[in-house]
Amino acid sequence: PAKALPPQIRRLDEAVVNRIAAGEVIQRPASALKELLENSIDAGSSSIAITVKEGGLKLIQIADNGHGIRYEDLPILCERHTTSKLKEFEDLQTINTLGFRGEALASMTFVAHLTVTTMTADQNHGYRASYKDGVMEGEPRPCAAVKGTQIMVENLFYNVAARRKAFKNPAEEYGRILDVVSKFSIHKNEVSFLCKKHGDSRADVHTMASTTRLDAIRAVYGPGVARELIEVSASDDDPLRAEFEMKGFITSANYSAKKTTFVLFINDRLVECSALRKAIEVVYAAILPKASKPFVYMSICLPSEHVDVNVHPTKKEVSFLNQEALVDSIQKAVEAKLMTSNTSRTFYTQT
Ligand code: ADP
Ligand code: MG
């Protein structure tokens, strides 16, 4: 029998490559929103307002009062791998901005239509430019603006039929967007956040700049959570174990929700860490009735040279040294805190 030849290897069109890569960074409306939010924070904004249509599939609009974008940078703004944040690979080690790859805006232009309006402190009017497939369409047009940047992402996944179909429920996608905004708004409590549906007068998340973290949690997650919060902290400076500092708020044994809310920032990045989440759930499982779940907010600071931020396309995970030791000592701190707060409560009710 004639031996069939192996399939031929071909080089993909650049447009195909870009759309595939974009799908990895921008998985759903909430991942686009997270990237936009991170850019606004990196730009030093103290106020960020978001408007959403159809769960972000029709429109995500974000307006900030950050440093804006230089006029001469507008032509390359949405090309792949253009960034103001990283120069050398080694910079990744000490990077203190949330972005670093210069891929987010580019990715969005491969799967949506993007319009940017921006004004820097030294300009007296702004510029508006539209982008598609990494390229600026025409010249930036002068326009009235305020200092900062406004970005509109329209018709997300208009050219990715399969992905578009996967999002049948805009309400669920809006829920995921609110989740991201809520988490950032309690971590960055010095920044004012607003998030609402287009056309609604009522905001679904609204925090004021420079409130305390506790006030921000109350504003976003409600007084029922805030009332039961206990402050928790842990740290270790022994280089042989895990060097870290953790500060957080956790609900007491009197609080119970149907679902765990676990808000984790490591070196100011919103991330997930299933090992830590499980370790904390175990502690609560021992003190709460079976169906009751806690609210947990934690901010962990690690030496930046112990953290690899570049392990996930959406940056939702980081890897770090001595994870086991760190999880262990945070678990112990949470356990101790819950125990003492429990006994003091018993004490109060008895007297
Ligand atoms: P990265 O954040 O990794 O640099 P992005 O594609 O997200 O990549 O953004 C590209 C560049 O565009 C950023 O480095 C920044 O200089 C600029 N930029 C994006 N969003 C904003 C914004 N809201 N305000 C000011 N500059 C911005
Ligand atoms: Mg970015």
Cα separation of 327 and 199, whole Å? 44
Q: Is 85 in the pocket of ligand 1 (CB under 6 A)?
A: yes
ipTM of the prediction:
0.99
Q: Which atom of ligand 1 approaches the CA of 86 most closely?
A: 4
- Domains with residue ranges and CATH for the chain: 14-206 (3.30.565.10), 223-350 (3.30.230.10)
H helix or E strand, kind and range, residue 231: strand 229-236
The closest residue, in CA terms, to atom 7 on ligand 1 is 104
CA 102 to ligand 1 centroid distance, Å = 7
Q: Is 35 in the pocket of ligand 1 (CB under 6 A)?
A: yes
Q: Is 41 in the pocket of ligand 1 (CB under 6 A)?
A: no
The closest residue, in CA terms, to atom 13 on ligand 1 is 83
What CA–CA distances, in Å, run from 193 to 10, 49, 60, 71, 138? 47, 6, 15, 27, 33
Q: Is 167 in the pocket of ligand 1 (CB under 6 A)?
A: no
The per-residue pLDDT for 346 is 46
Q: Which residues of 101-134 are buried (b: 16+ CB within 10 A; e: fewer)?
A: bbbbbbbbbbbbbbebbbbbeeeeebbbbbbebb
CA 148 to ligand 1 centroid distance, Å = 12
The per-residue pLDDT for 343 is 58
Cα separation of 300 and 268, whole Å? 8
Q: What is the pLDDT along the chain (351 residues), one digit of tens a residue?
A: 678 999 999 999 998 999 999 988 999 999 999 999 999 999 999 999 999 999 999 999 999 999 999 999 999 999 999 999 999 998 888 889 999 999 999 999 999 999 999 999 999 999 999 999 999 999 999 999 999 999 999 999 999 988 988 898 999 999 999 999 999 999 999 999 999 999 999 999 999 997 899 999 999 999 999 999 999 999 998 877 889 999 999 999 999 999 999 999 999 999 999 999 999 999 999 999 888 999 999 999 999 888 888 888 888 888 888 899 999 999 999 999 998 886 555 444 443
Q: Which atom of ligand 1 approaches the CA of 107 most closely?
A: 6
Cα separation of 341 and 351, whole Å? 16
**Structure tokens of 135?**
């390229």
